[in-house]
Amino acid sequence: MSVIQEVAKTRGASRETRKGDGKAAAIFLAPWFIGLGLITAFPLLASLYLSFTDYSLLEAPNWIGLENYTEMFADPRWTKSLAVTFQYVFISVPLQLAAALGLAMVLDRGLRGLAFYRSVYYLPSLLGSSVAIALLWRQVFGADGLVNQVLAYFGIEGVGWVSHPDYALGTLMILNVWTFGAPMIIFLAGLRQIPTMYYEAASIDGASKLRQFFNITIPLLSPIIFFNLVLQLIGAFQTFTQAYIVSNGTGGPIDSTLFYTLYLYNEGFGSYNMGYASAMAWFLLLIVAGLTAVNFFASKFWVFYDD
Protein backbone atom coordinates (compact mmCIF):
# COMPACT_ATOMS: atom_id res chain seq x y z
CA MET A 1 0.00 0.00 0.00
CA SER A 2 2.55 2.51 1.03
CA VAL A 3 6.25 2.97 0.70
CA ILE A 4 6.65 2.21 4.36
CA GLN A 5 4.88 -1.11 4.28
CA GLU A 6 6.83 -2.06 1.19
CA VAL A 7 10.07 -1.51 3.03
CA ALA A 8 8.81 -3.65 5.88
CA LYS A 9 7.85 -6.36 3.42
CA THR A 10 11.17 -6.51 1.60
CA ARG A 11 13.03 -6.71 4.87
CA GLY A 12 11.52 -10.10 5.53
CA ALA A 13 11.74 -11.35 1.97
CA SER A 14 14.07 -14.25 1.44
CA ARG A 15 16.38 -14.81 -1.45
CA GLU A 16 14.54 -15.37 -4.66
CA THR A 17 15.26 -17.79 -7.42
CA ARG A 18 18.87 -17.66 -8.48
CA LYS A 19 18.47 -18.37 -12.12
CA GLY A 20 16.30 -16.14 -14.12
CA ASP A 21 16.39 -13.05 -16.25
CA GLY A 22 19.69 -11.62 -15.14
CA LYS A 23 20.69 -10.38 -18.56
CA ALA A 24 17.37 -8.73 -19.33
CA ALA A 25 17.29 -7.22 -15.85
CA ALA A 26 20.71 -5.69 -16.41
CA ILE A 27 19.45 -3.97 -19.55
CA PHE A 28 16.19 -2.75 -18.04
CA LEU A 29 17.90 -1.53 -14.92
CA ALA A 30 20.91 -0.01 -16.66
CA PRO A 31 19.70 3.62 -16.53
CA TRP A 32 18.67 3.24 -12.91
CA PHE A 33 21.98 1.64 -11.94
CA ILE A 34 23.96 4.42 -13.59
CA GLY A 35 21.76 7.03 -11.92
CA LEU A 36 22.04 5.33 -8.56
CA GLY A 37 25.81 5.25 -8.82
CA LEU A 38 26.58 8.62 -10.37
CA ILE A 39 23.71 10.86 -9.30
CA THR A 40 22.90 9.41 -5.88
CA ALA A 41 25.47 7.12 -4.23
CA PHE A 42 28.64 8.86 -5.37
CA PRO A 43 27.42 12.35 -4.34
CA LEU A 44 26.24 10.90 -1.04
CA LEU A 45 29.70 9.55 -0.24
CA ALA A 46 31.44 12.56 -1.75
CA SER A 47 29.47 14.88 0.49
CA LEU A 48 30.51 12.80 3.50
CA TYR A 49 34.14 13.20 2.46
CA LEU A 50 33.73 16.91 1.74
CA SER A 51 32.20 17.41 5.17
CA PHE A 52 35.67 16.74 6.61
CA THR A 53 37.34 19.26 4.33
CA ASP A 54 37.59 22.93 3.66
CA TYR A 55 36.51 23.40 0.07
CA SER A 56 35.55 26.48 -1.91
CA LEU A 57 35.43 25.02 -5.46
CA LEU A 58 38.52 26.96 -6.47
CA GLU A 59 41.20 24.91 -4.77
CA ALA A 60 41.41 21.22 -3.98
CA PRO A 61 39.57 20.12 -0.82
CA ASN A 62 41.71 20.50 2.28
CA TRP A 63 41.25 17.84 4.97
CA ILE A 64 40.40 19.46 8.30
CA GLY A 65 38.90 16.52 10.18
CA LEU A 66 35.93 17.29 12.37
CA GLU A 67 36.40 21.04 12.27
CA ASN A 68 33.28 21.70 10.20
CA TYR A 69 31.21 19.80 12.71
CA THR A 70 32.66 21.50 15.78
CA GLU A 71 32.24 24.84 14.07
CA MET A 72 28.66 23.92 13.21
CA PHE A 73 27.70 23.05 16.77
CA ALA A 74 29.17 26.34 17.96
CA ASP A 75 27.55 28.40 15.19
CA PRO A 76 24.62 30.41 16.57
CA ARG A 77 23.07 30.78 13.10
CA TRP A 78 23.16 27.02 12.60
CA THR A 79 21.47 26.50 15.96
CA LYS A 80 18.95 29.14 15.03
CA SER A 81 18.23 27.51 11.67
CA LEU A 82 17.67 24.20 13.40
CA ALA A 83 15.35 25.81 15.93
CA VAL A 84 13.39 27.62 13.21
CA THR A 85 12.97 24.44 11.20
CA PHE A 86 11.93 22.32 14.19
CA GLN A 87 9.46 24.97 15.26
CA TYR A 88 8.00 25.10 11.77
CA VAL A 89 7.84 21.33 11.37
CA PHE A 90 6.40 20.44 14.75
CA ILE A 91 3.77 23.16 14.78
CA SER A 92 2.61 23.24 11.18
CA VAL A 93 2.58 19.51 10.39
CA PRO A 94 0.25 18.51 13.27
CA LEU A 95 -2.02 21.44 12.42
CA GLN A 96 -2.00 20.47 8.76
CA LEU A 97 -2.84 16.85 9.54
CA ALA A 98 -5.56 17.87 11.99
CA ALA A 99 -7.17 20.03 9.31
CA ALA A 100 -6.81 17.22 6.80
CA LEU A 101 -8.42 14.66 9.11
CA GLY A 102 -11.17 17.01 10.23
CA LEU A 103 -12.21 17.91 6.70
CA ALA A 104 -11.90 14.31 5.55
CA MET A 105 -14.29 13.23 8.29
CA VAL A 106 -16.81 15.90 7.45
CA LEU A 107 -16.65 14.99 3.75
CA ASP A 108 -16.93 11.28 4.49
CA ARG A 109 -20.32 11.79 6.11
CA GLY A 110 -22.61 11.12 3.18
CA LEU A 111 -22.41 14.55 1.67
CA ARG A 112 -23.32 15.52 -1.86
CA GLY A 113 -20.75 17.32 -3.96
CA LEU A 114 -17.83 15.47 -2.37
CA ALA A 115 -15.80 15.54 -5.59
CA PHE A 116 -16.26 19.29 -5.84
CA TYR A 117 -15.16 20.02 -2.27
CA ARG A 118 -12.27 17.64 -2.58
CA SER A 119 -11.00 19.48 -5.66
CA VAL A 120 -11.36 22.89 -4.06
CA TYR A 121 -9.47 21.85 -0.95
CA TYR A 122 -6.84 20.02 -2.94
CA LEU A 123 -5.91 22.83 -5.32
CA PRO A 124 -3.61 24.62 -2.81
CA SER A 125 -1.54 21.44 -2.42
CA LEU A 126 -0.69 21.53 -6.10
CA LEU A 127 0.28 25.17 -6.11
CA GLY A 128 1.73 25.49 -2.60
CA SER A 129 5.38 24.91 -3.45
CA SER A 130 5.50 27.27 -6.43
CA VAL A 131 7.34 30.56 -6.50
CA ALA A 132 4.13 32.31 -7.57
CA ILE A 133 2.32 31.33 -4.38
CA ALA A 134 5.28 32.28 -2.21
CA LEU A 135 5.26 35.70 -3.89
CA LEU A 136 1.53 35.92 -3.29
CA TRP A 137 2.06 35.09 0.38
CA ARG A 138 4.66 37.81 0.66
CA GLN A 139 2.04 40.20 -0.59
CA VAL A 140 -0.99 38.85 1.29
CA PHE A 141 0.87 39.16 4.58
CA GLY A 142 2.73 42.34 3.64
CA ALA A 143 2.28 45.67 5.42
CA ASP A 144 -0.43 46.85 3.01
CA GLY A 145 -1.46 43.36 1.94
CA LEU A 146 -4.76 41.54 1.85
CA VAL A 147 -4.75 40.45 5.49
CA ASN A 148 -4.27 43.97 6.75
CA GLN A 149 -6.91 45.27 4.37
CA VAL A 150 -9.38 42.83 5.86
CA LEU A 151 -8.26 43.69 9.40
CA ALA A 152 -8.62 47.40 8.64
CA TYR A 153 -12.20 46.65 7.65
CA PHE A 154 -12.77 45.64 11.26
CA GLY A 155 -10.84 48.62 12.56
CA ILE A 156 -7.73 46.65 13.49
CA GLU A 157 -4.37 47.94 12.45
CA GLY A 158 -2.07 45.12 11.40
CA VAL A 159 1.69 44.98 11.07
CA GLY A 160 3.87 43.88 8.16
CA TRP A 161 3.55 40.20 9.01
CA VAL A 162 6.29 38.88 6.72
CA SER A 163 8.74 41.55 7.79
CA HIS A 164 8.12 41.17 11.51
CA PRO A 165 10.50 38.73 13.26
CA ASP A 166 7.74 37.46 15.55
CA TYR A 167 5.28 36.65 12.80
CA ALA A 168 7.22 35.85 9.63
CA LEU A 169 7.60 32.17 10.47
CA GLY A 170 3.93 32.01 11.37
CA THR A 171 2.92 33.11 7.89
CA LEU A 172 4.95 30.23 6.45
CA MET A 173 3.29 27.81 8.85
CA ILE A 174 -0.08 29.01 7.61
CA LEU A 175 1.13 28.37 4.08
CA ASN A 176 1.98 24.79 5.01
CA VAL A 177 -1.34 24.21 6.76
CA TRP A 178 -3.02 25.66 3.66
CA THR A 179 -1.77 22.65 1.67
CA PHE A 180 -3.66 20.08 3.73
CA GLY A 181 -5.47 18.75 0.66
CA ALA A 182 -3.03 15.96 -0.20
CA PRO A 183 -3.10 14.27 3.23
CA MET A 184 -6.87 14.86 3.28
CA ILE A 185 -7.29 12.74 0.17
CA ILE A 186 -5.27 9.96 1.78
CA PHE A 187 -7.41 10.19 4.93
CA LEU A 188 -10.56 10.04 2.84
CA ALA A 189 -9.35 6.81 1.24
CA GLY A 190 -8.48 5.45 4.68
CA LEU A 191 -11.85 6.34 6.21
CA ARG A 192 -13.49 4.42 3.41
CA GLN A 193 -11.86 1.26 4.65
CA ILE A 194 -13.50 1.43 8.06
CA PRO A 195 -16.68 -0.66 7.92
CA THR A 196 -19.74 1.32 8.89
CA MET A 197 -21.03 -1.52 11.01
CA TYR A 198 -18.45 -0.67 13.67
CA TYR A 199 -20.06 2.71 14.12
CA GLU A 200 -23.54 1.25 14.03
CA ALA A 201 -22.67 -1.27 16.72
CA ALA A 202 -21.05 1.43 18.83
CA SER A 203 -24.03 3.77 18.60
CA ILE A 204 -26.40 0.95 19.54
CA ASP A 205 -24.25 0.44 22.61
CA GLY A 206 -24.67 4.11 23.35
CA ALA A 207 -21.17 5.37 22.53
CA SER A 208 -21.04 9.09 21.87
CA LYS A 209 -19.63 10.51 18.64
CA LEU A 210 -16.53 11.60 20.51
CA ARG A 211 -16.04 8.16 21.94
CA GLN A 212 -16.53 6.62 18.49
CA PHE A 213 -13.89 8.94 17.13
CA PHE A 214 -11.30 7.98 19.73
CA ASN A 215 -12.16 4.30 19.96
CA ILE A 216 -12.93 3.42 16.35
CA THR A 217 -11.74 6.06 13.91
CA ILE A 218 -8.35 6.84 15.43
CA PRO A 219 -7.22 3.24 16.04
CA LEU A 220 -8.36 1.98 12.65
CA LEU A 221 -6.94 5.00 10.88
CA SER A 222 -3.64 4.95 12.76
CA PRO A 223 -1.61 3.36 9.94
CA ILE A 224 -2.76 6.10 7.60
CA ILE A 225 -2.11 8.81 10.15
CA PHE A 226 1.37 7.37 10.60
CA PHE A 227 1.95 7.26 6.85
CA ASN A 228 0.91 10.89 6.48
CA LEU A 229 2.93 11.96 9.49
CA VAL A 230 6.20 10.46 8.22
CA LEU A 231 5.76 11.93 4.74
CA GLN A 232 4.73 15.38 5.87
CA LEU A 233 7.47 15.62 8.50
CA ILE A 234 10.16 14.70 6.01
CA GLY A 235 8.70 17.06 3.43
CA ALA A 236 8.41 19.94 5.89
CA PHE A 237 12.02 19.52 6.94
CA GLN A 238 13.09 20.27 3.38
CA THR A 239 11.03 23.42 2.93
CA PHE A 240 13.05 25.90 0.92
CA THR A 241 11.22 27.84 -1.79
CA GLN A 242 8.69 29.56 0.46
CA ALA A 243 11.31 30.74 2.95
CA TYR A 244 13.66 31.84 0.18
CA ILE A 245 11.02 33.91 -1.61
CA VAL A 246 9.33 35.40 1.43
CA SER A 247 12.65 36.53 2.92
CA ASN A 248 14.28 37.24 -0.46
CA GLY A 249 16.95 34.64 0.20
CA THR A 250 18.14 36.05 3.50
CA GLY A 251 16.11 34.03 6.00
CA GLY A 252 15.23 37.33 7.63
CA PRO A 253 13.95 39.31 9.39
CA ILE A 254 16.74 38.60 11.92
CA ASP A 255 16.99 34.97 10.81
CA SER A 256 13.42 34.25 11.85
CA THR A 257 12.79 32.29 8.63
CA LEU A 258 16.31 30.90 8.27
CA PHE A 259 15.24 27.37 7.41
CA TYR A 260 17.87 24.67 7.59
CA THR A 261 17.94 24.13 3.82
CA LEU A 262 18.10 27.87 3.24
CA TYR A 263 21.12 28.22 5.49
CA LEU A 264 22.68 25.23 3.74
CA TYR A 265 22.09 26.84 0.38
CA ASN A 266 23.53 30.16 1.51
CA GLU A 267 26.63 28.52 2.95
CA GLY A 268 27.20 26.27 -0.06
CA PHE A 269 26.16 28.41 -2.98
CA GLY A 270 26.26 31.90 -1.50
CA SER A 271 29.57 31.78 0.37
CA TYR A 272 30.96 28.66 -1.37
CA ASN A 273 31.70 26.97 1.94
CA MET A 274 31.15 23.61 0.31
CA GLY A 275 32.74 21.66 3.16
CA TYR A 276 30.58 23.32 5.78
CA ALA A 277 27.47 22.88 3.63
CA SER A 278 28.29 19.18 3.25
CA ALA A 279 28.58 18.78 7.01
CA MET A 280 25.16 20.44 7.30
CA ALA A 281 23.81 18.14 4.62
CA TRP A 282 24.92 15.03 6.47
CA PHE A 283 23.41 16.32 9.67
CA LEU A 284 20.15 16.83 7.76
CA LEU A 285 20.34 13.25 6.53
CA LEU A 286 20.78 12.07 10.12
CA ILE A 287 17.77 14.11 11.21
CA VAL A 288 15.55 12.75 8.45
CA ALA A 289 16.74 9.18 9.04
CA GLY A 290 16.39 9.63 12.79
CA LEU A 291 12.89 11.03 12.50
CA THR A 292 11.85 8.13 10.32
CA ALA A 293 13.38 5.65 12.75
CA VAL A 294 11.73 7.27 15.77
CA ASN A 295 8.43 7.24 13.98
CA PHE A 296 8.77 3.56 13.14
CA PHE A 297 9.71 2.74 16.70
CA ALA A 298 6.95 4.84 18.21
CA SER A 299 4.43 3.46 15.77
CA LYS A 300 4.69 0.07 17.49
CA PHE A 301 2.99 1.58 20.48
CA TRP A 302 0.18 3.41 18.85
CA VAL A 303 -0.32 2.21 15.30
CA PHE A 304 -2.92 -0.50 15.14
CA TYR A 305 -2.69 -2.87 12.19
CA ASP A 306 -5.94 -4.73 11.88
CA ASP A 307 -4.58 -7.54 9.73
Partner 1 sequence: MTDTPVRPDAPTDRQRVREQRPLSELAAEIPDTPRKRKVGPRARRILKHVLLIGFGLVMLYPLLWMLSSSFKPNEIIFREPGLIPTELDLTNYSQGWFALLHPFHHYLLNSAIVVLGSVLGNLISCSMAAYAFARLKFRGRPLWFAIMLMTIMLPIHVIIVPQYILFSSLEWINTFLPLIVPKLLATDAFFIFLMVQFFRGLPKELDEAARLDGCGHGRIFLRIMLPLSLPALATTAIFTFIWTWNDFFSQLIFLTDPEMYTVPIALRTFIDSTSASSWGPLFAMSIVSLVPIFFIFLFGQKYLVKGIATTGIK
Site for partner 1 in 52-111 (CB under 8 A): 57, 106-111
Question: Cβ closer to partner 1: 50 or 169?
Answer: 50
Residue list 144-163, contact with partner 1 (CB under 8 A): 144-146, 149-150, 153
Judged by CB under 8 A, the stretch of 67-75, 90-98, 142-150, 211-219 that binds partner 1 is 142-150
Applying CB under 8 A, among 100, 183, 221, 225 the residue interacting with partner 1 is 183
Applying CB under 8 A, among 161, 274, 299, 303 the residue interacting with partner 1 is 274
CA 154 remoteness from chain centre: 35
Question: Is residue 139 at the binding interface for partner 1, with CB under 8 A as the rule?
Answer: yes
Question: Is residue 179 at the binding interface for partner 1, with CB under 8 A as the rule?
Answer: yes
Question: Is residue 269 at the binding interface for partner 1, with CB under 8 A as the rule?
Answer: yes
Question: Cβ closer to partner 1: 92 or 179?
Answer: 179
Residue 274, number of CB atoms within 10 A of its CB: 21
Separation CA 55–CA 66 (nearest Å):
14
Judged by CB under 8 A, the stretch of 66-74, 75-83, 84-92, 273-281 that binds partner 1 is 273-281
Applying CB under 8 A, among 58, 59, 116, 155 the residue interacting with partner 1 is 116
Binding mask 13-52 for partner 1 (x = CB under 8 A): xxxxxxxxxx-xxx-xx-xx-xxx-xxx-xxx-xx--x--
Q: Which amino acid is at 18?
A: R
Beta strands 53-54 and 62-63, pairing class: antiparallel
Applying CB under 8 A, among 97, 266, 268, 303 the residue interacting with partner 1 is 268
Residue list 217-246, contact with partner 1 (CB under 8 A): 224, 227-228, 231, 234-235, 237-238, 240-241, 244-245
Q: Are 118 and 103 within 8 A, CB to CB?
A: no
Separation CA 161–CA 170 (nearest Å):
9
Residue list 248-267, contact with partner 1 (CB under 8 A): 248, 261, 264-265
Judged by CB under 8 A, the stretch of 9-17, 86-94, 207-215, 294-302 that binds partner 1 is 9-17
